[in-house]
Amino acid sequence: MKEMTNKVNVFKNKSKFSKSIYQKCKNIFNNYGYILTSSYEHDAILNLVIGGDGTFLNAVHQSEFSDIPFIGINTGHLGFYQEVETNMIESFIRSFDQKDYRVENLSVLESHLAGKKINSINEVVIKSNRNQIVRLKVFIDGNFIEYYSGDGLIISTPHGSTAYNLSAGGSILHQSLNGFQLTPIAPIYSNMNKALRSPVVLPNDATIDISISKRDNFHTVFIFDGREYSAKDYKIRINVSDTKIKKLILNRNHYWNNIKNKLM
């Protein structure tokens, strides 16, 4: 039995089911010599997330993109980030205690907007907060690519590619790939607008610069993992950050099982 010094940070949603799962986890973790804490501790050895994908994203942001490994228990709906189902809790804790897992690094998007740096793990969305089109100039690595008109643009990580990006017609990028994706949302294509109509997959070292038309600036919003920002700025720069999110993987087939069981 370990001394009671091994801390596990817990992030959970407010549902009664999640609270009951938390209590179950607490009892089993305690039996293995771990302490669960609901206040974020920088010396913890694990970030445990109880909820769905939204709870996982909130945990990453609340912890300020912690370098402590994350793992999720799914008490939500889709649970694409959540590795552990509620009937697997005891076996998960046993595997964790025995270090029977691997660590996967998830890429993070870094955006520079109005003098601020904003990170996101899923995607950055640029769109109107009204029923209007947005007009955007898109540059990749300093090269002008298009004058885009349409509902907006999505810039997504490989693990974010199965979220809003997929619904907008983007491709699924395997989480092991070093790259990110630019996907148009309902682009307008005509003699006046030669916008790209398909997603573009970019390498990790690429940089996207997007300028917003001045007439659209007042109704254009920037959404980072569901968090909406409005800024009186006409430009945003997006690239892959050096920051990585560590996620525990217990089952090497978890990714493809998710694709098959949750997206098909």
- Residue of 43, 53, 67, 141 with catalytic role: 53
Same domain, 225 and 114: yes
Per residue in 118-165, pLDDT (tens digit) is: 999 999 999 988 888 898 999 999 999 999 999 999 999 999 999 999
Could you give the CA distance from residue 168 to residue 165 in angstroms, rounded to a whole number? 5
Burial of 142 (0-12, 13-18, 19+ CB in 10 A): exposed
Same domain, 173 and 125: yes
Could you give the CA distance from residue 203 to residue 129 in angstroms, rounded to a whole number? 30
Positions in the chain whose pLDDT score sits under 70: 1-5, 194, 216-218, 262, 264
Annotated binding-site residues for NAD(+) read 53-54, 122-123, 151, 162-167, 186
Q: What is the pLDDT of residue 218?
A: 67
Q: What is the pLDDT of residue 217?
A: 67
Could you tell me which residues come within 8 angstroms of residue 13 by beta carbon, excluding any fewer than 6 positions away? Answer: 50, 51, 52, 54, 55, 75, 76
Q: What is the pLDDT of residue 175?
A: 86
Q: What is the pLDDT of residue 3?
A: 44
- How many domains, in total, are found in the chain? 2
Q: What CATH code is carried by the domain that includes residue 14?
A: 3.40.50.10330
Among this protein's residues, is 53 annotated catalytic?
A: yes
Burial of 19 (0-12, 13-18, 19+ CB in 10 A): middle
Per residue in 28-48, pLDDT (tens digit) is: 999 999 999 999 999 999 999
Same domain, 143 and 217: yes
Same domain, 151 and 222: yes
Residue 113 region, left (φ>0) first, then alpha (ψ -120 to 50), else beta? beta
Annotated binding-site residues read 53-54, 122-123, 151, 162-167, 186
CA proximity to 56, closest of 125, 123, 121, 105:
121
Same domain, 112 and 95: no
Same domain, 56 and 84: yes
Same domain, 199 and 218: yes
Token representation of residue 52:
């769905």
Q: What is the pLDDT of residue 26?
A: 98
Could you give the CA distance from residue 162 to residue 160 in angstroms, rounded to a whole number? 5
| Residue 152 structural domain | 108-241
Q: What CATH code is carried by the domain that includes residue 124?
A: 2.60.200.30
Q: What is the pLDDT of residue 4?
A: 43
Same domain, 85 and 119: no
Domain final residue pick, 82, 100, 118: 100
Q: Under a CB-based contact definition with an 8 Å cutoff, are residues 262 and 78 in contact?
A: yes
